[in-house]
Structure 1
Amino acid sequence: MAQDPYTQKLLLDWFVELDTPEGFRAELVEGELVLTSLPDGHHERCISRVVSQLHLRSDFDVQFSGNKGLKLGMADGHPQDHVIPDGTIVARAPRLFRGAPPWMPCQGVTMVLEVTFTRPEIDRVAKRRCYARGGIPCYLLVDRDADSTTLFTEPEQGDYLHSRTAAFGRPLTLPEPFAFDLDTTDFL
């Protein structure tokens, strides 16, 4: 539901000052406070496998940050999104994370990674739109409930124009600047 500018400002101010309980992380996604518990081992293994392949198979230095807060675009009638991807990947901008505040702008981010956990619909829909509004070129979603990996590309007008999906166990081609087939066998 859309909120008036005063309510948007109050919600954003409250969120920024929020003292998140230990063992949880908080995000503001399309005007909704999303509080999630820390992930399980399979979730972390999927992230590790993606990051390992990015480092080993990319032809340049890839920078990775887990749980980096990003300030993204605004959804109609909601305060600015504050989202924490499972992984933030930067290609060819090695100093982007150096000195960055806890909630940094998303300019320069090449790809974000999410692995579904407690509320997969947020990763599939709301976060996808957030990342597209932020202009992040690639969004990689490892969907453990659907046993598939999807790459969303070409952000425009609040969503991604293209997507490619591969079932776990099948390769998923990552575009430039990565330019390799992501092996999803270990996600099974």
Structure 2
Amino acid sequence: MLSEEFERIAAAAEREGVQMEFIHGKVVVKAVPDGDHDEIVRWLTKRCMQHRPDLWLYPERGLKIETYRKGNAKPDGTLAADGAFAGQGEWAHPDQVLMVVEVTSYDTDTDTDTRDRREKPRAYAQTGIPVYLLIDRDACETLVYSEPDPDSNTYASLLRRPFGKTVELPEPVGFSLDTEPLKNWVR
């Protein structure tokens, strides 16, 4: 499928309340977030503003995430400088992105396990996004992927911490995150 075809189909689906992504040549449906998911994104946005007021955590920012297959994804959060996406269309180039954030959903029908834990780390590393923060509500842990190696489609570093522990978000993000509040938004 060509990127242009996907964009047309995704736009139509979104009018019907369905979000789609195109990752590694596959069209996938993204689960609609629940209230706790939204609270996590709100909480993280506030933390980012406190530590890095020069940046903004853009929710659901469409990104062109693959250099080879022209894939598209809408991470739950995309950390970049204020105004980084001005003048860009629905699917922006990720060259100014410092971190992407995904919060796992409880919807097994959409295969979020495979996407968030396997496919997206590979796609984000391939694109060269410096930090991928995965907030895993099933495992009650945060995973911080950093040091992308686009040639091998992997991140060289993975830091895994249970909710309640402090996690370091490496440069270019550069601040610590106390994950204790995340315990309030899991089943």
* Offset from partner CA, 1:135-157 (integer Å, 9 cap, x none): 10000000111110011001102
Task: Tell me which residue corresponds to 1:136.
Answer: 129
1:89 aligns with 2:84: no
Which has a greater percent of helix? 2
How many Å separate the matches in 2 of 1:94 and 1:66?
13
* Offset from partner CA, 1:21-72 (integer Å, 9 cap, x none): 52210100111111123200111111111111111123x4112211111012
Task: Tell me which residue corresponds to 1:170.
Answer: 165
Residue 181 of structure 1: how far off its partner (Å): 1.6
**Do the aligned partners of 2:48 and 2:57 also contact (CA within 8 Å) in 1?**
no
The alignment-based identity, stated in percent, is 34
| Structure 1: segments with no counterpart, 5+ residues | 1-7
Residue 85 of structure 1: how far off its partner (Å): 0.4
How many Å separate the matches in 2 of 1:31 and 1:107?
21
Q: Report the number of matched residues.
A: 173
What code does the residue aligned with 2:75 have?
A: P
How many Å separate the matches in 2 of 1:177 and 1:16?
30
How many Å separate the matches in 1 of 2:116 and 2:131?
14
Structure 1 segments of 4+ aligned residues over 2 angstroms from their partners: 176-180
1:103 aligns with 2:91: yes
Residue 120 of structure 1: how far off its partner (Å): 2.2
Pairs within 5 Å for 1:116-155? 116-117=104-105, 118=107, 119-155=112-148
Task: Tell me which residue corresponds to 1:40.
Answer: 34
**Superposition TM-score, scaled by structure 2 size:** 0.86
Task: Tell me which residue corresponds to 2:175.
Answer: 180
| Structure 2: segments with no counterpart, 5+ residues | none
CA RMSD of aligned residues (A): 1.5
How many Å separate the matches in 1 of 2:97 and 2:41?
17
Distance 1:15 1:178, change over 3 A: closer
What code does the residue aligned with 1:44 have?
A: D
How many Å separate the matches in 1 of 2:26 and 2:134?
21
